[in-house]
Amino acid sequence: MATYLEDSKRWVATARYRDPITGKQRRKYLYGATALAADDAAKKFRSTPASARPSEDRPDTVRVLLGRWLSEKDPSLDRRAVAWTFTEATVQRDQWKDYESTVRVHILPSLGDVRLDDITHGRLLGFFTELAGRDSRRGGRLSASSQKKVHSRLTSAFRYCVLRGWLSADPMSGVPTPTDSPEDAELRVTLTPVEKALTVAEMRALTRWIAVRYDDHLAYQVRWALAFEIGLRQAEMLGLTWDCVDLTTRTITVRQQLRHIEHQHGCEGKWPDPTTSPCTVVARESNPRQKPLTAYRCPHRVTGGAIIVATTKSKRVRYVRFSRTIADSLKALCAEQHPSDAPTASKAERLRLLQARSMRVYAALDADLVIRTPGGGHVTPTVDNGVWHAACDGAGVSSIGRDVHSARHTAATHLVAAGVALTTVQKMLGHSTTAVTERYVTTAVDVQDAALYAREAYLARV
């Protein structure tokens, strides 16, 4: 009997059948506008021989397979409105965009139109050989990390294919993971979290450079002072609003972060076929060798700007205290951003802002941000990264292997070196476990000297 789905306003009937490939019992969901239509569709499916049943459940090409796999990974997909049963777990939006980009740029041009039955172990080995010699967009050969991403995505997709029963064996089995070339290994600098942290002298030099360079913009000074003291993540820092700052108790409530809405094609170009983008077709009229235009380069792109999202990386709210020195700076910054002689907003505008800020997701334009640009807008990660590297160059601090996150490593390293309990550092920085915090535990020089003296004393007694 068909069941009515309130969410999708449809009727659904279930038909059980045995998969001819795996022999497992499966379910087929048939939808209809009425209960009679759904039941008739289920009855027709049951009466159809297995050999004559439609094969829409089994993808015919690699392109369709990857589309199915990405669909199950997509966090925005409404799982209640689709027919198939899910086997893959969803991922975060940023991670899904990385999956989609790897598939679209590196896999589909070579393997997209290949039939699933024609995928063999040897064909995949040849694909990775060709991938290793491919040029990257920035010049030079494609990096080993990009090749490893392709290997990981194909491994997951074909494992999903085998789990679904669309292939009897995994063709990626035995395909070696791409490795770094000797030249790349020599040029790569790998630093531990402690090595990425700035020393006390480097931290003070960078702080002085920020104070001199932005002497008329207190927000940037506060941004890096907070980063070095309590180690807020970049998205948490840039999304910090004044309602999360309690100047009386010197406490910051870390409960939200700044995110950017991804660019969309305004010319209605859609994945998975990147060559169908109308903006790409127009660009190829003047340049036939033009690569497919991304949404960012689409002349009619649609962007949603920045948003404030009420979540953190650990999905937990934490409360972090800050020093009196930073409290004084925050008080001065608050008075600067909210002058007493500023014109008062209308009642309707105040109600609108109050309602917007009570939502779990709202536009950054409506947020009362602490860290702002000199023009008063929100600070993008790109601008923030630029300030970091400019400060490193100006202060004479090495930025090799270091990025904005190094300020967080600096805070953690100095707290642990000061003898603060690991559980306290874990709570302040929002680490999931103390095992993450233990990465910042090092053996100080004086401790090593004491160990050598103890060894010499032991040898002298023996």
pLDDT, tens digit, 9 for 90 and up, residues 267-289: 764 545 555 678 888 888 888 88
The predicted structure's pLDDT at residue 139: 64
What tens digit of pLDDT does each residue of 389-420 get? Answer: 999 999 999 888 889 999 999 999 999 888 88
Q: Would you give the DSSP letter of residue 440?
A: G
Quick one: 242 exposed, middle or buried, by C-beta within 10 A (0-12, 13-18, 19+)?
A: middle
User: Token digits for 372?
Assistant: 């702002």
Residue 116, number of CB atoms within 10 A of its CB: 18
> 311 near 264, Cβ under 8 Å?
no
Question: If you average pLDDT over every residue of the chain, what do you get?
Answer: 84
Q: Label the pairing between strands 306-309 and 257-260.
A: antiparallel
Comparing CA positions, the residue from 254, 218, 253, 412 lying closest to residue 326 is 218
Burial pattern 419-430, b for ≥16 Cβ within 10 A else e, equals: eeebeebbbbbb
pLDDT computed for residue 5 by the predictor: 75
% residues pLDDT > 70 (the chain): 87
Q: What is the pLDDT of residue 182?
A: 53
3-state secondary structure at position 17: strand
pLDDT in tens, 416-452: 888 889 999 999 999 988 888 888 877 555 666 777 8
Distance, in Å, from the CA atom of 132 to the CA atom of 114, rounded to the nearest integer, reads: 20
- Give the pLDDT confidence score for residue 31 in this predicted structure: 77
CB under 8 Å to 435, separation ≥6 — which residues?
A: none
Q: Which residue has the higher pLDDT, 137 or 375?
A: 375
The dihedrals phi and psi of 283, each to the nearest 5 degrees, come to -65, -30
Per-state percent for the chain, helix, strand, coil, to nearest 5: 50, 10, 40
The rounded Cα 107 to chain-centroid distance in angstroms is 21
Cα angle for residues 147, 91, 93 (degrees, 5° grid): 90
Helix-then-strand count for the chain, H and E: 19, 9
pLDDT of 11 reads: 82
Domains along the chain with CATH numbers:
3-52 (no CATH), 62-187 (1.10.150.130), 193-261+306-440 (1.10.443.10)
pLDDT of 54 reads 44
What DSSP element (H or E) covers 416?
Answer: helix 406-417
- What confidence score (pLDDT) does residue 443 get? 56
Cα dist from 23 to 17, 49, 184, whole Å:
9, 15, 48
Query: What pLDDT digit, counting tens, does each position of 35-78 carry?
Result: 888 888 888 777 765 544 444 467 888 998 898 888 888 887 76
Alpha-carbon gap, residue 119 to 124, rounded angstroms: 7
C-alpha 232/C-alpha 369 separation (Å) is 15
Q: How far is CA 405 from the centre of its chain?
A: 14
Two tokens, residue 37: 């239509």
Q: Which helix (H) or strand (E) segment is 32 a member of? A: strand 25-32
- Nearest-10 Cα torsion for 95, 96, 100, 102: 20
Handedness of CA 338, 339, 342, 344 (dihedral sign): positive
**Residue 79 in 3-state DSSP?**
helix
Mean pLDDT is lowest, of 63-67, 114-118, 184-188, 355-359, for: 184-188
